[in-house]
């Protein structure tokens, strides 16, 4: 179907929840995708920080093919090997002792919110249910997770919100201290705010949060849905930030493109969930888990993580160099291959210009260009992006 016809049908049959770019992507390979007309694009969006190993990584494709021939689904009424193996591998390589699987980021945060409430409820009674979250955060679009999200535009028109959330500025420890009470069950934050404009949490702030939460038996929950799975240079961002959370959520990169989410926790906290308290029909489905296990095995082998780290440094350096030369660039922030470039102008036209040059990038909170390529991105591919940006932005001064 020609792109224009597809666009018209999409407008007609899909609810208008996205403002889509008018290209139709038909296949992908590594860090590139191809549209219906055969045009090639360098992919610095990667399905919004999802395709950490690039498109169609052979190990992931093989794992999916093999599992599809064997068993697609049976529900959680029975044991399946891919789910248990994936949980074990995640536990072996994180602070956590137990995993709950679901199908998306929002669902992973739903699980974390429910787990925190139940843990506190069982231990301290029904009045202790509040969760402190950050302004400019993003935790999802379900009622509980949009209530957790500290952005008006996500909440507007959906009131009444779920009660029990308190919002404070990001990277502001005294602000958290000021709102913690006997009713506080948890503090929830992203180690690097992604959708909110790429803001990195300071190490001292996280250390302070960790100490504060430990003193009060308040759970520290990291939403690593965007920062996890090697995105920031280590398997999970917390590893390089010097603190361990009590609960962590994953999704996006976890399945390498197959929908899957996870909520990880220490034994003590995870014990709050017992049979009948939380569930998901598809959660931990063998197909999704087989794909995620393949992704994790590639990352644990080490070379891709190392590549991601090097390319993250290289990209950051190149973007900072643009900032030094171009007054239109207000700031450059990020960790690993989650990088943001804040402009003094709206970024939409830059995204469009990049598209015309065969490069997919994304813009968040109007003025922040976000770069989240696959970890296998090559240096010459980053050079292409930097050249294009340099060229375009110098014309706009």
Ligand X SMILES: *Cc1c(COP(=O)(O)O)cnc(C)c1O
Instruction: State yes or no: residue 190 binds ligand X (CB under 6 A).
Output: yes
Q: Please give the torsion angle defined by the CA atoms of residues 88, 89, 90 and 95, in that order, rounded to the nearest 10 degrees.
A: 80
CA distances from 50 to 68, 70, 94, 115, 250 (A): 21, 25, 20, 25, 11
Residue whose entry in the numeric block shows the structure tokens 């009444």:
160
**CB 262 → ligand X: shortest distance, Å?**
11
Chain residues 139-168 in contact with ligand X, contact rule CB under 6 A: 139-140
**CB 190 → ligand X: shortest distance, Å?**
5
Chain residues 78-97 in contact with ligand X, contact rule CB under 6 A: none
**CB 223 → ligand X: shortest distance, Å?**
5
Among this protein's residues, is 202 annotated catalytic?
Answer: no
Among this protein's residues, is 236 annotated catalytic?
Answer: no
User: Which of 140, 133, 145 shows the shortest CA–CA distance to 187?
Assistant: 133
Among this protein's residues, is 366 annotated catalytic?
Answer: no
Query: Which helix (H) or strand (E) element contains residue 102?
Result: strand 98-102
CA distance 197 to 254: 22
Contact range with ligand X by CB under 6 A, out of 38-46, 79-87, 105-113, 354-362: 105-113
Instruction: State yes or no: residue 131 binds ligand X (CB under 6 A).
Output: no
Q: Which of 44, 100, 101, 138 is the catalytic position?
A: 138
Contact range with ligand X by CB under 6 A, out of 14-22, 102-110, 235-243, 378-386: 102-110
**Which of 28, 54, 105, 374 forms a contact with ligand X (CB under 6 A)?**
105
CA distance 229 to 12: 36
CA distance 247 to 241: 16
**Which of 198, 251, 290, 298 forms a contact with ligand X (CB under 6 A)?**
251
Q: Give me 323's structure tokens.
A: 């900032």
For residue 28, the cross-strand partners are: 33
Chain residues 198-227 in contact with ligand X, contact rule CB under 6 A: 223, 225-226
Residues identified as active-site: 138, 223, 252
Instruction: By CB under 6 A, name the binding residues for ligand X.
Output: 104-106, 109, 138-140, 190, 194-195, 223, 225-226, 251-252
């Amino acid at each position: 179907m020609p792109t224009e016809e597809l666009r018209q049908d999409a407008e007609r049959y899909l609810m208008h929840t996205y403002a889509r770019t008018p290209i139709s992507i038909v296949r992908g390979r590594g860090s590139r995708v191809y549209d219906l007309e055969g045009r090639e694009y360098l992919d610095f969006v990667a399905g919004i920080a999802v395709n950490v190993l690039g498109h169609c990584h052979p190990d992931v494709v093989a794992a999916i093919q093999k599992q599809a021939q064997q068993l697609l689904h049976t529900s959680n009424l029975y044991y399946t090997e891919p789910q248990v193996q994936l949980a074990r591998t995640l536990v072996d390589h994180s602070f956590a002792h137990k995993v709950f699987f679901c199908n998306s980021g929002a669902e992973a945060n739903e699980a974390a919110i429910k787990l925190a409430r139940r843990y506190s409820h069982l231990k301290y009674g029904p009045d202790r249910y509040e969760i402190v979250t950050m302004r400019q955060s993003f935790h999802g679009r379900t009622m509980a997770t949009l209530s957790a999200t500290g952005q008006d535009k996500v909440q507007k028109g959906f009131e009444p919100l779920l009660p029990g959330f308190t919002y404070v500025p990001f990277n502001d420890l005294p602000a958290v201290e000021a709102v913690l009470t006997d009713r506080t069950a948890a503090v929830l934050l992203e180690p690097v705010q992604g959708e909110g404009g790429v803001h990195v949490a300071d190490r001292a702030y996280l250390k302070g949060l960790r100490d504060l939460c430990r003193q009060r038996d308040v759970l520290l929950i990291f939403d690593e849905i965007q920062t996890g799975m090697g995105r920031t240079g280590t398997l999970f961002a917390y590893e390089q930030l010097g603190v361990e959370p009590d609960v962590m959520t994953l999704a996006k990169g976890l399945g390498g493109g197959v929908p899957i989410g996870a909520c990880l926790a220490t034994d003590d906290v995870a014990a709050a969930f017992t049979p009948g308290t939380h569930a998901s029909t598809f959660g931990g489905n063998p197909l999704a888990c087989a794909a995620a296990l393949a992704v994790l095995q590639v990352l644990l082998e080490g070379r891709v993580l190392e590549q991601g780290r090097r390319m993250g440094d290289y990209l950051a350096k190149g973007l900072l160099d643009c900032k030094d030369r171009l007054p239109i660039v207000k700031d450059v922030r990020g960790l690993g291959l989650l990088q943001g470039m804040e402009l003094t102008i709206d970024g939409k036209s830059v995204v469009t210009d990049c598209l015309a040059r065969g490069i997919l990038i994304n813009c968040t909170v109007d003025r922040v260009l976000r770069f989240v390529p696959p970890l296998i991105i090559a240096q010459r591919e980053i050079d292409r992006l930097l050249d294009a940006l340099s060229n375009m932005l110098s014309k706009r001064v």
